[in-house]
Structure 1
Amino acid sequence: MAGGRVLRLTPERPHHNTDLDGLVICGGTDIHPSLYDEITKINYVYDRDRDALEVHWLKRAEEQDWPVLGICRGAQLLNVLRGGNLHMDIRQAFEEADYPTHLLANIFFRKTMHIVSGTLLHRLWGKRTSRVNSLHSQSINRLGRGLVVGARERNGIIQAVEDARKPFVLGVQFHPEYLIYRKSVRRLFASLVAEARGEERERSLSPAD
């Protein structure tokens, strides 16, 4: 919808020799706790191959200065890769965080995030609060190097982080792909694609009209 062409990266087809213009790390299984010095959950099935794949691509994105969007797990991995860590169970770490998890709640339940003024997310959203979905049981705890909070819930759960030194390095804890009917969400993806094409940088370098 935003004009980008997608290349799916998987452990079976990692496309390591391909040059990209931008990177999206999506949601999924929990990151293996050894990546941030925690112990594994009992009877939980982790995906170490996916961890390795995404760590490789995030490191490459940082080296090449690509725009990056991390969604849910992707936001957490962005934080972990920079030396941050995670709350492994938001229900134990925060008050009023026992959100419904059944199927209808995953589709319809919304909670309010408060967006920090002047952040990338604020510029894209154009407002200070927004209702977002909740499909996660973990969240960012200690921030990784160079990251700042872009949005929180009232109970303290971080809903967005970004690297303010970069044109577009953003992690969101919610799932914008399920909110694509909103103009603000479509602007998020459109801005990512524009940055990947170099359009945003060209505009910023162009003389004022």
Structure 2
Amino acid sequence: MTKVLVLYYSSYGHIERLAHAVADGVRQSGASAVIKQVPELVPETVARKAGYKLNQNADVATVAELPDYDAIVIGTPTRFGNMAAQMKNFLDQCGGLWFEDRLVGKVGSVFTSTGSQHGGQESTLLSTHTVLLHLGMVVVGLPYSFKGQLRMDAITGGSPYGASTLADDGNGGDRQPSDNELEGARFQGRHVAQVAAALASANIGATL
């Protein structure tokens, strides 16, 4: 069975919700989905004061386990147009895996969240793709066969580079992922699992 890791970091729970939607999509394709988070770097007292969602149930991932999966879907909020420091810190520890080509040929994909409609979603997705490419992974996005990203009747995240959501309601309040954004995440999960299964059945990943 194809094994997919949904690896995320979420301060306030928006990426966490998308991560579960991605995992649902993976399972809908018949693959196995494991949801894990990267370690928090912010001191607990600071995180509590900032209102971070600290009761997330996902286990904390280790770098050493990444080669155990056929695909890795990364979820990170945007920080000034780039991935969050927590995710970057985790990926920066993959040097040993890079040196030994342990992730070459595996499928990689990304989803994100920003506070505003033009808050750096695409730059975050694309800059994270760069890391995946350095690791030798096969990058998969959210194709236009998911028609929800073409909607013009409502504000929505989503691009060909990956699923996304908007976390601010425009008045400084919290906005949770919409049904359309969650469906985009599920679609991406199904698509990643299908591509990973196709590569595995053709034994392509092992020869890349």
Pairwise same-fold verdict (TM > 0.5): no
- Kindly indicate which of the two structures has a greater share of residues assigned to helix: 2
TM-score for both structures, normalised by structure 2: 0.40
Specify the structure having the higher radius of gyration (Cα): 1
TM-score for both structures, normalised by structure 1: 0.40
- Structure possessing the higher relative contact order (Cα contacts under 8 Å, 6 or more residues apart): 2
